[in-house]
C-alpha cells in the first residue's frame, strides 16, 4: 500500500508542476481532472487503436451466438483496462475530498461510466456505421462528448462533497 500511495503522490506532484500557467483559467480540481482524464483517455485511444488494428485485425469477433463488430470489440477491450485506472485517478487525485464510502463511490463511478459507455456505443455506431467515418477519429469525437458528461457526473454525483451545515 505504501507504494500505491507513493505513486499517487508522485502523479499528483507531476500534475501540479504543470498547473501554474493554467491557474488563471481553471481551478486546481478541474486541471487535475483534465490531466488524469486526459492521460487515461490517451491510453484508451492508444489501446483502442492497437486492439482494433493489430489484435483484432479489423475483423468481426464471432462469439458463436453473437457477432461483435471490430470497433465495438476494441472499445470493450480498452475499456476493461482504463475503467479501473480511471476510478483510481479520479478518487485519489481529481476528487480526493469526497468522504463517501469507497464502494458507494465505485458504484456511482460505475453508473457514470455506464452512461459514458452508452454514449460511446451510440456515437460509435452512428459515426462509423451510419455516417461511414473512420473508426479512430470517430472514437476521438465520441470521447469528447463522453468527457463532458463524465466530468459533470463525477463532480456532482460520484465524488460529490457534502458541505456540513
Residues 95-148 have pLDDT tens digits of 888 888 889 999 999 999 899 889 989 999 999 999 999 998 998 999 889 888
Rounded Cα–Cα distance for residues 140 and 68 (Å): 20
Residue 141 placed within a domain: yes
Residue 31: pLDDT over 90: yes
Note the pLDDT of residue 151.
86
Note the pLDDT of residue 113.
87
Residue 40 placed within a domain: yes
Note the pLDDT of residue 112.
92
Residue 165 placed within a domain: no
Rounded Cα–Cα distance for residues 82 and 42 (Å): 10
Residue 164 placed within a domain: no
Residue 163 placed within a domain: no
Please count the structural domains in the chain: 1
Residue 51 placed within a domain: yes
Instruction: Give the pLDDT band (50/70/90) at residue 163.
Output: low
Q: Residue 128: which domain range?
A: 2-158
Kindly report the pTM of this predicted structure: 0.79
Q: Please, what sign has the CA dihedral across residues 60, 64, 66, 72?
A: negative
Residue 25 placed within a domain: yes
Residue 161: pLDDT over 90: no
C-alpha cell at 109: 463511478
> Could you report the per-residue pLDDT of 62-88, keeping only the tens digit for each?
999 999 999 999 989 999 999 999 999
Mean confidence (pLDDT) of the chain = 92
DSSP state of 61: E
Amino acid at each position: 500500500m505504501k507504494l500505491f500511495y507513493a505513486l499517487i503522490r508522485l502523479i499528483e506532484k507531476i500534475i501540479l508542476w504543470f498547473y501554474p500557467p493554467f491557474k488563471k483559467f481553471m481551478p486546481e480540481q478541474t486541471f487535475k481532472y483534465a490531466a488524469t482524464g486526459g492521460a487515461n483517455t490517451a491510453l484508451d485511444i492508444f489501446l483502442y487503436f492497437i486492439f482494433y488494428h493489430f489484435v483484432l485485425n479489423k475483423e468481426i469477433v464471432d462469439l458463436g451466438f453473437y457477432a461483435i463488430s471490430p470497433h465495438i470489440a476494441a472499445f470493450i477491450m480498452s475499456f476493461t483496462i482504463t475503467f479501473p485506472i480511471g476510478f483510481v485517478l479520479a478518487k485519489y487525485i481529481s476528487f480526493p475530498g469526497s468522504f463517501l464510502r469507497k464502494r458507494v463511490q465505485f458504484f456511482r463511478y460505475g453508473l457514470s461510466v455506464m452512461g459514458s459507455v452508452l454514449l460511446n456505443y451510440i456515437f460509435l455506431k452512428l459515426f462509423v456505421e451510419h455516417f461511414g467515418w473512420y473508426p479512430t477519429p470517430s472514437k476521438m469525437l465520441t470521447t469528447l462528448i463522453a468527457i463532458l458528461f463524465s466530468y459533470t457526473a463525477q463532480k456532482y454525483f460520484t465524488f460529490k462533497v457534502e458541505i456540513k451545515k
